Structures are given as structure tokens and as C-alpha cells.
Amino acid sequence: MSEEKAYLLLADGTVFEGSSIGLTGTTIGEIVFNTSMTGYEEILTDASYYGQIVTQTYPLIGNYGVNDEDTESRMSWVKGYIVREECDLPSNFRCEGGLDDFLQKQNIIGLCGIDTRRLTRIIREHGVMNGAITNKSGFENKDVLLDLIHTYTIKDAIKSVTIDKKIKTEAKDGKFNVALLDYGYKLNIMRSLVKRGCNVTVYPALTSPDEIIKEAPDGIMLSNGPGDPAECIEAIENLKVFSGSQIPVFGICLGHQLLALANGAKTVKLKYGHRGANHPVKDLSHDRTYITSQNHGYAVLAETIDENIGSVSHVNLNDGTVEGIKYKNGHMFTVQFHPEASPGPKDSAYLFDEFISMMKERSCK
């Protein structure tokens, strides 16, 4: 941790003074908070945070260090990182380094030593807002910085995080071939499929659906990812093609939203989103409540789902928002939360098993 002073400047003019961690400099992004007590390395490498500055509400971060096994993608995607206290003496048998070193290697500008509880309350009361982390020299031009903060928007999100060319991972004794569309996928989605006997081919987000269908996958997986789903016009149009096929489709987070939009539903930006590992969700078909991990700022509006096309399958018990849709064509279902993220730790892993069953049923026809 550096002794250099650093500042957080919010769009409403609020200023927090703390200390610099990671790289020093200036970064602008959308300020969000995550309530998870652990999993900070997974958060830092989750592409869904592209364009955002992440605040951890848990007061001590970095106490078990970092390691190469817990990353969820090829790099860190956050625009900045804020913690109350950064532990500079991590202790864990899997530890391969400290948080500050990780942030520096990933070129992430961070801030520690501020009142993150106060910051979280501001976001909860006023909604997600833009802000900037900057050092002393950057803060001297406060008015210029405020102008940049007000004009900041997240653009071309999935195009910025998706892979350039397809990648194939084979399972031992693989029984099914799954096409995974990379809108910003987490590695554990692929691992969860491979563990269940799936050979997984990861495709760039905007791969032609005809190309994918031509390779005759047993199932199609739609990943999580960043940005406003309604702006992903090309991806939405592509998903209309998959909806008309008979290939089983399973969508997570952004994939859930995009498939809903492709089928005529609408999405809305939430006041401050759902980001954490303790969100209660009820599965209406099983009449059971599961603890889920979530990371999203948009939600599908229940009243816009055509009852002839699909129905709500899961509901968030905190605010009643849509957490899952089951489609009436019999081969598509999606969830807003992350079943691969082990929140329960295995509460919602059954969804991957349902996807496998759907592929198995189709292969027997």
C-alpha cells in the first residue's frame, strides 16, 4: 500500500480522501458496490464489471491473498477498486501474492482508507453514479475532472471483453458438445460444463448463429457480461435465430437479459443493482429458496414477458425482480444469478444438471 494520498470524486461533488493502492493516476467509471465477504479475486476478474469502479462493503479485503486458480478470466476488467482496509500481510496456504501487487500487475488504480459504509449509503440513496479515483495532481483540476465524470458512459462493452477467436476445451469422456457464447464469460461456467462431461467451444460474442448451428452443438450456453443489454442489437438479433431452433439454450445474467429481449421483453436499469453472494431467490417450480451470487445492474421487466412465449421461473425475494425465465418452446431457460459461483456453496448448481438433462432428452429423440 502506498503512502500517497488519493481521492474519490463523485458526480455530485462529494469527495473522499484516502490512500492509493495498485497504480497511481486517474480513472473514471461507474461506481458500484459488492456486499460479498470473500471472492475479491473473482470479482476483480469478472468481465461483467467492465467500465465500473467496484467498492467492497466488507471492511477488510486481501487477507487471504491472491492466486492463479481463482481468476475468472484472462485479466482484470474493473476501472478501479475501493476498499476500507487493504491487508498487506495475507495468510493462506494457497496464497501466491498480495492484493496490492495484483492490482499493480493488472494496471488497476485503487483507493483504500475511506468510509466505504458512507459511500455505499450514498449509492443506495441516490443510485449508481459516475466517479473518479485520482491522486493529488489529478484532484487539483477538480472542475475539469467533474466534466469528464458527467460525460462518462460505458460503450461497446461486450465487444471489448469477448475473445477474438473460438477456444475449445474437451472433457474426459465428453458426451455433449456445448457452444458457449462469450459476452464476458466466467471460467467457472466452462468448468461446470466440462465437469459434467461437456466438450465446450467458446465463441466470440457476435459469431454468426449459422456458423454455430452448422457445427451441430448439443446445447448453447449464453454467458454473463457487462453493459446495457438493450444496446447489444446484433447479439439480440442473433439470439432470435437460436430461439427458432430446437437446440437447448441455457443463459446466465446478461445472456438471460439478451434472450428475453430477443423474445420481445424489455429491461430496466436498477437503482443500484444486485452485487453480492447472499441474494435469496425463489425457484417457483421447486417451491424452494436458494442463496445466490449476483452481479448485474439491469433486470427483465416481468410484465413485458409474453405469456405465450415464456413465464417467470425465479423471483428475487428482496425486491421481487425477475431472476429466471422458462420458455414455452421447451428447450430454453435462463437465470439472472450465477449458479457457477458457488454461493451456497452448491445451492443452484442443479441448473447445470437441468441443462444436461435437456440435452440428453433431445439426443434420445
Q: What is the largest CA-CA distance in the chain?
A: 68
Closest CA to 321 of 263, 265, 246, 249: 265
| DSSP-assigned letter for residue 31 | E
Beta bridge partners of 220: 179, 249
Indicate if 340 belongs to the active site.
yes
Indicate if 338 belongs to the active site.
yes
Query: How far is the C-alpha of 273 from the C-alpha of 124, rounded, in Å?
Result: 9
Question: Which is the catalytic residue, given 274, 279, 314, 338?
Answer: 338
Q: Quick one: how far is CA 113 from the chain centroid?
A: 26
Query: How far is the C-alpha of 295 from the C-alpha of 225, rounded, in Å?
Result: 9
What cell does 159 get?
465487444
What cell does 3 get?
503512502
Indicate if 30 belongs to the active site.
no
Question: Which is the catalytic residue, given 41, 253, 256, 274?
Answer: 253
- Please check whether residue 292 is in contact with residue 281, taking contact to mean a CB–CB distance below 8 angstroms: yes
Query: How far is the C-alpha of 53 from the C-alpha of 316, rounded, in Å?
Result: 25
Residue for grid cell 438493450? 230
Query: How far is the C-alpha of 296 from the C-alpha of 276, rounded, in Å?
Result: 10
Asked if the peptide bond before residue 345 counts as cis, ω within 30 degrees of 0, the response is yes
- Three-state secondary-structure class, residue 132: strand
Query: How far is the C-alpha of 260 from the C-alpha of 239, rounded, in Å?
Result: 9
Burial (CB < 10 A; 0-12, 13-18, 19+), residue 343, is buried
CA 230, 236, 241: angle at the middle one, nearest 5? 165
Region of 72 on the Ramachandran plot (φ > 0 left; ψ -120 to 50 alpha; else beta): alpha
Active site members:
253, 338, 340
